[in-house]
Amino acid sequence: MTHSHGWAAQGSTTPLAPFSFSRRDLHEHDVQVDIQYCGVCHSDIHSVRNEWQNAVYPMVPGHEIVGRVASVGSAVTRFKPGDLVGVGVIIDSCRSCASCKAGEEQYCEVGATLTYGVKDRYGDLTQGGYANNIVAPDHFVHSVSPKLDPAGVAPLLCAGITTYSPLRHWQVGPNQKVGVIGLGGLGHMALKFAHALGAHVVQFTTSESKVADAKRLGADEVVISKDAAAMKKQASSFDFIIDTVSAPHDINPYLEALKRDATYCQVGLPDKPPVIFPGHLIFKRRSWSGSIIGGMAETQQMLDFCAEKNIVADVEVIPIQKINEAFERVVKADVKYRFVIDMASLQQP
Ligand code: NAP
Ligand code: ZN
Ligand code: ZN
């Protein structure tokens, strides 16, 4: 077994604290990664606090992982010790169902293995990236360009792919008006990607303090969503809207902002369902849809796209000792725009 240490939650109301555990010895296709940085996703908070009612403890959260390969199993050819790599939200899937064969492992019909908080195919409880190392099959490990700042790359492994994938699936591009709801970790990546893909991007935010940042990050327009008159002005004008909000909110004004046949894509996953007035869908044949992360090939494509366009997340790097404070700030929408843990801090007392 490989000795690991990180920070874990022992229950839904206890703060994260230091925790020692072990990971499996490498199988022939496994890669062991020494973690350098791990992003703090709002999903980590939903999970630790059991807001999705499926938490298993002890739980080491973290699925936006960047580090260096420490060792590889005998059948691994894509990676060697020292390579800079990333690991995201899933670390295994059945590889043989229709979704896996289509390269959409995140929709594995048997159930993809999440990076933390579930039983893996060996019967072990998976533990995530708020730790010094991780072991994953090579198919679920990605190459990271050394050209990019590794701390800024970490959030690409979840916030990046979760927003890139639907933008590509719904073929967002030039001559389209695209809305991004919420300027947090996912939202600021959606904004950067939609802008890089050539769309006219409107950022919706509840935070007046984020307007200047939204423009700097690529927004052509910024709408304060609490302003009903400003919302009305956007009626029936969008080709695509992506909702990245972590808390329950009224989505009907945004549905009304879609053109005929346009799509509203849900990526934010609040703990309570929205109430939808069906007329907003019926009268303009609009679609309300959703999307989860992206496939493994598409994740690599997204990382390569970021290397080519010089795109990384805007991050605030913190030591692990500040993680509980960081959770509180994320919940208050007070993060610009992703906390990333520097794992070197695990050595500190
Ligand atoms: P985040 O950094 O906390 O950003 C969420 C943003 O939503 C906030 O910055 C805020 O933006 C807005 N917001 C928060 N509370 C709100 C409220 N009550 N009403 C309206 N707007 C509010 O979170 P994140 O890490 O980006 O994650 C966002 C959501 O996506 C979470 O639910 C997470 O679990 C989910 N997620 C889904 C996937 C997937 O594969 N589908 C992957 C990762 C995460 P403003 O200040 O601009 O209003
Ligand atoms: Zn995430
Ligand atoms: Zn499968």
Concatenating the DSSP letter of every residue in 253-281 gives HHHTTEEEEEEEEE----SSPPP--THHH
* Tens digit of each residue's pLDDT (9 = 90 or more) over 271-329: 999 999 999 999 999 999 999 999 999 999 999 999 999 999 999 999 999 999 999 99
* Tens digit of each residue's pLDDT (9 = 90 or more) over 40-98: 999 999 999 999 999 999 999 999 999 999 999 999 999 999 999 999 999 999 999 99
Give the residue whose CA is nearest to atom 33 of ligand 1: 43
At 64, the amino acid letter reads E
Give the residue whose CA is nearest to atom 29 of ligand 1: 268
Nearest-CA neighbor of 300 among 29, 103, 167, 31?
103
C-alpha to C-alpha distance for 335 and 338, rounded to whole angstroms:
6
**Average pLDDT for 10-39:** 98
Decide: 186 in ligand 1 pocket, CB within 6 A. Answer: yes
Decide: 188 in ligand 1 pocket, CB within 6 A. Answer: no
**Average pLDDT for 232-260:** 98
The pLDDT assigned to 349 comes to 74
C-alpha to C-alpha distance for 313 and 310, rounded to whole angstroms:
10
Decide: 9 in ligand 1 pocket, CB within 6 A. Answer: no
Residue 8 clears pLDDT 90, i.e. is over it? yes
68 contacts 272 by C-beta, under 8 angstroms: no
**% of the chain residues with pLDDT over 70:** 100
What is residue 89's DSSP assignment? S
Query: Residue 42 CA: which ligand is closest?
Result: 1
The pLDDT assigned to 176 comes to 98
The pLDDT assigned to 1 comes to 87
**pLDDT band, very low/low/confident/very high, at 348 (cuts 50, 70, 90):** confident
* Tens digit of each residue's pLDDT (9 = 90 or more) over 97-153: 999 999 999 999 999 999 999 999 999 999 999 999 999 999 999 999 999 999 999
User: Measured in angstroms, how far is the CA atom of residue 62 from the centroid of ligand 2?
Assistant: 8
Give the residue whose CA is nearest to atom 1 of ligand 1: 184
At 231, the amino acid letter reads M
- Closest ligand 1 atom to residue 266 Cα is 41
User: Measured in angstroms, how far is the CA atom of residue 61 from the centroid of ligand 2?
Assistant: 10
Residue 156 clears pLDDT 80, i.e. is over it? yes
For residue 328, give every residue at least 6 positions away whose Cβ sits within 8 Å of its Cβ, in sequence order, or none.
none
Q: What is the pTM of this model?
A: 0.98
**pLDDT band, very low/low/confident/very high, at 255 (cuts 50, 70, 90):** very high
C-alpha to C-alpha distance for 173 and 199, rounded to whole angstroms:
5
User: Measured in angstroms, how far is the CA atom of residue 94 from the centroid of ligand 2?
Assistant: 21
User: Measured in angstroms, how far is the CA atom of residue 240 from the centroid of ligand 2?
Assistant: 22
List Cα–Cα distances, 207 to 179, 203, 222, 309, in angstroms.
16, 11, 11, 28
**Average pLDDT for 3-21:** 98
User: Measured in angstroms, how far is the CA atom of residue 284 from the centroid of ligand 2?
Assistant: 32
Nearest-CA neighbor of 172 among 105, 265, 257, 296?
265
Average pLDDT in the chain: 98
Decide: 128 in ligand 1 pocket, CB within 6 A. Answer: no
Q: How many residues does the chain have?
A: 349
* Tens digit of each residue's pLDDT (9 = 90 or more) over 327-344: 999 999 999 999 999 999
69 contacts 82 by C-beta, under 8 angstroms: yes
Give the residue whose CA is nearest to atom 39 of ligand 1: 292
54, with CB counted inside 10 A (0-12, 13-18, 19+), is exposed
**Average pLDDT for 162-169:** 99
**Average pLDDT for 211-227:** 98
Nearest-CA neighbor of 64 among 9, 12, 142, 5?
142
